[in-house]
Structure 1
Amino acid sequence: MSSLSPRVLVLEDHAFQRSVAVRMLEQAGCSDIYEAADGAEALALLKRVGPVDIAVCDLQMDGMDGVEFIQRVGGSGQVGAIIISSSLSADLRRAVGQMVSQLNLVFLGDLGKPLQAMALESLLKKQRHVRPPAPLPYAPILKVAGETDVRRALARQELKAYYQPKFNLATGAVCGVEVLARWEHPFKGLLSPAAFMPTLERCGLMDDWLYAQMDQALALQEDARRRGFSLNMAFNLHAGQLANRELTGLVKQLLARHGVAGAGVTFEITESGLLEAPADSLESLVRLRMMGCRLSIDDFGAGFSSMQRLCQLPFNEIKLDAEFVRNLEQEPRCLAVIDSILALGNTLDMSVVIEGIETDAQRQQLLNLGCTVGQGYWFARPMAGEELLNWLQPRSSSVC
């Protein structure tokens, strides 16, 4: 190792194993090595000697354990990177590795026990080439607009439908779009749904926005069709809106006004609101399906999924939560979950859409699993209507 060797803390309650770790680090060229028998001792030590580059952590010990120690130092700047050395089961070690990353620490790897000198030295070398994570930014305090402003925005048609394409992972063909909400504020610029959606919900304006959004999107769908593009429009529907007995009638009127068949529309309903769907909601789901509309259970896996409800409710699409894709490379279990959901969709005759695809490596992994349709920033970000039409123009032969 170079003369710029890392400062290393060994957190291990077993004296012999601690001495073995120290000896291996010395043989690897580390000179500044500190030892602690539990988390409390380690924190006191860091207060005296200052930050370290790497902490080699056991997890299970008397006193403050390694899990609590990692939690305490996360984001503090006292430790740069973590190496886990524990005899706990692999799934628990993976979970702690995930926790390390979420705490803005570099996770160098999991060595298990007993320590192996070559594996340890490999991780020490890896540390030289890993850039430390940027400091966690202070989240801006988002001011949610008041009822008067939101009602005015609705009346002035400042709330706009934006569109994010869904695509075939193998060919890149566009398979439809998800219709999202943005506020084109005259003074503040483009605002995300977080600035106004809570007010729409609190003030009972969700249906007003849904109809306005559908009117905009179905008009765009007509325009796209005239230009040779056949696009399915997917709208987000809150589970609470299903209890409105007027919902399906108004949807039917909108479809008729724009000359759109029900098959050209999908309604995405988040799974968390469906576990106890009342009879009124079930009736709305059935009627939407009878009109030919597709029904997608959105963010599947983000809540407490009920397989029984999935079988009972008339959905024909599963939209898998983006979190599974986000952790695809770090968490092997995510591959197994996605593979299982694809098999479940096939068994239930339901298509599966994967959200959150941000890299080509993710796309390729999903393709290898048998996934065909996805959505995410790797392919396209949400865009305004005219921008979508211009974006589609060179893809005239690549629409599903």
Structure 2
Amino acid sequence: MSNFSLRVIVLEDHSFQRAFAVNLLQQLGCTEVFQAADGAEALAILNEVGPVDIALCDLRMEGMDGLAFLQAVGHSGLVGSVIISSSLSADLRRTVRQIISLLNLELLGDIGKPLHYETLERLLKKHHSVPRTGTLPEQPRVLPDESQVRQALADRGLCAFFQPKFILETGEVTGVEVLARWREASGKVLSPAFFMPVLERCGLLNELLFQQLHESLALQQQLKAFGHELDFAFNLHATQLTDETLATRIHTLLVEYGVRGSSLTFELTESGLLQAPETSLECLFRLRMMGCQLSIDDFGAGFSSLQRLYQLPFNEIKLDGEFARAMMQEPRCHAVVSSTLALGEKLGMSVVVEGIETDEQRQHLLNMGCTQGQGYWYARPMSGGDLVRWLDETQPRSQRA
């Protein structure tokens, strides 16, 4: 018998199924198991006994239902993780999963009914390997102020990391996405969530972009000398497109480094694309006139506008990684991937699927006709030096060097 030192509350209005769930959890060695017939009773119990590690929760109940309960405990610290056990249709459960992600709750699994010992055991093990977002919340790190960010830019503390984009069938690297990271003096690397809001608020996005361009174009030349010809992709924010000098400055850099515009791609997120003012059309037009590629990033993560898709001069769609992760379990996600591949073909746009984490996903995408991807299955973001070494170890050199 397993032994999990966990506090769990079971929300289930069917008395037999509730007793069965409690019995399974006790067999698995959970130290304390509470039970409630609806959300109101569960809240009363939690107010009395304190936080629990996991809520095993049905959704459709008389009285306060499971969704109302989750909304009540979200951000409260009373529940750490959630396991959904419901007979509702897949589309409704998918909506609840999205809501849970917004409530500062960790979703361990959506297991339907009936419950099985092995499935519950696997999810309880998973609980020990994921961050505890509810019961023991980490102290959030304070965002840096403008002076700290400016100093990091001046000291080159905001550095470029590179994540390869590859051909699914052969593993050939076709390019890299340039990502921003903050490397502290201690060596710790911080994600963009820590500093990008400050850069945006203080109007420093272009300064970061041109630092990345200088670093990346120099690296691109170095890689070409070593026999690796790669395209480099940079992220743009919609507000940057209103800068009338942006395209001209990028053209100056292309001349300075002697590179073709077609070796650069600029990515805008779908949500940013929808926010982009009409004046941004000129900037996008000029980038394409210079030969640069334009990519719609995180496609499908927002509310897609097909009108904007055909109005703006994009030639690549990057499908949000959530679809790759869910497509084999969710028929609707599978349909979105298939439809986007077909849409890209009809519009003459290449489609890159992000978030590929397993070979099974890669093979499935290949069978659907997808040719290009990006994700941890192939390579994580890495520094420029690491990229050079990694390419030499994994990629054949071009005869054009």
Please state which band the TM-score falls in when normalised by the shorter chain: 0.7 to 0.9
Q: Which secondary structure does the structure 1 equivalent of 2:106 belong to?
A: coil
Cα deviation, residue 73, structure 1: 6.3
CA contact (8 A) 2:9 2:36 kept: no
The 1:199/1:276 distance shift into structure 2, 3 A limit, reads closer
The 1:50/1:21 distance shift into structure 2, 3 A limit, reads farther
State TM-score, norm by structure 2.
0.81
Equivalent in the alignment of 2:12: 11
Alpha-carbon distance in 2 for matches of 1:51, 1:159? 39
The 1:187/1:367 distance shift into structure 2, 3 A limit, reads same
The 1:385/1:68 distance shift into structure 2, 3 A limit, reads same
Per-residue CA deviations over 1:312-347 (Å, capped at 9, x if unaligned) read 000000111223234345533222211111111111
Equivalent in the alignment of 1:133: 127
Equivalent in the alignment of 1:65: 65
Equivalent in the alignment of 2:249: 250
Q: Which secondary structure does the structure 2 equivalent of 1:181 belong to?
A: strand
Q: Which secondary structure does the structure 2 equivalent of 1:296 belong to?
A: strand
Per-residue CA deviations over 1:223-242 (Å, capped at 9, x if unaligned) read 11111111001011111111
Per-residue CA deviations over 1:60-115 (Å, capped at 9, x if unaligned) read 3442113223555676469974421x4x444213433666688335436223xxxx
State TM-score, norm by structure 1.
0.81
Q: How does 1:1-400 map to 2 (within 5 A)?
A: 9=10, 11-12=12-13, 18=14, 21=17, 37-44=37-44, 59-71=59-71, 76=78, 81-84=83-86, 86=87, 88-96=88-96, 103-104=105-106, 106-107=108-109, 109-111=111-113, 119-120=114-115, 123-130=116-123, 131-134=125-128, 135-136=132-133, 138-187=137-186, 189-397=188-396
CA contact (8 A) 1:144 1:194 kept: no
Per-residue CA deviations over 1:174-218 (Å, capped at 9, x if unaligned) read 010001112333356433333332332222222222122111101
The 1:106/1:295 distance shift into structure 2, 3 A limit, reads closer
Alpha-carbon distance in 2 for matches of 1:261, 1:344? 28
The 1:34/1:307 distance shift into structure 2, 3 A limit, reads same
Alpha-carbon distance in 1 for matches of 2:2, 2:244? 74
Which amino acid is the alignment partner of residue 109 of structure 1? Answer: I
CA contact (8 A) 1:318 1:352 kept: yes
CA contact (8 A) 1:235 1:266 kept: yes
Any unmatched runs of 5+ in structure 2?
none
Alpha-carbon distance in 1 for matches of 2:371, 2:150? 40
CA contact (8 A) 2:59 2:84 kept: no
The 1:125/1:51 distance shift into structure 2, 3 A limit, reads farther
Q: Work out the number of aligned pairs and report it.
A: 383
CA contact (8 A) 1:162 1:385 kept: yes
| Larger displacement relative to structure 2 (387-396 or 179-188) | 179-188
The 1:19/1:199 distance shift into structure 2, 3 A limit, reads closer
The 1:124/1:51 distance shift into structure 2, 3 A limit, reads farther
Q: Which secondary structure does the structure 1 equivalent of 2:200 belong to?
A: helix
Per-residue CA deviations over 1:350-373 (Å, capped at 9, x if unaligned) read 111112222223223322322221
| Larger displacement relative to structure 2 (317-326 or 52-61) | 52-61
The 1:344/1:61 distance shift into structure 2, 3 A limit, reads same
Which amino acid is the alignment partner of residue 83 of structure 1? Answer: S
The 1:42/1:79 distance shift into structure 2, 3 A limit, reads farther
Alpha-carbon distance in 2 for matches of 1:33, 1:195? 38
Q: Over alpha carbons, which structure has the higher Rg?
A: 1
Which amino acid is the alignment partner of residue 363 of structure 1? Answer: R
Any unmatched runs of 5+ in structure 1?
13-17, 112-118
Which amino acid is the alignment partner of residue 133 of structure 1? Answer: H
CA contact (8 A) 2:10 2:33 kept: yes
Alpha-carbon distance in 2 for matches of 1:353, 1:272? 18
Q: Which secondary structure does the structure 1 equivalent of 2:85 belong to?
A: strand
The 1:90/1:196 distance shift into structure 2, 3 A limit, reads closer
CA contact (8 A) 2:175 2:231 kept: yes
Per-residue CA deviations over 1:228-257 (Å, capped at 9, x if unaligned) read 111001011111111111111111110011
CA contact (8 A) 2:81 2:108 kept: no
Which amino acid is the alignment partner of residue 109 of structure 2? Answer: F
Q: Which secondary structure does the structure 2 equivalent of 1:218 belong to?
A: helix
Q: Which secondary structure does the structure 2 equivalent of 1:342 belong to?
A: helix
Which amino acid is the alignment partner of residue 333 of structure 1? Answer: R
Which amino acid is the alignment partner of residue 59 of structure 1? Answer: L
The 1:311/1:398 distance shift into structure 2, 3 A limit, reads farther
| Larger displacement relative to structure 2 (276-285 or 171-180) | 276-285
Alpha-carbon distance in 2 for matches of 1:33, 1:186? 46
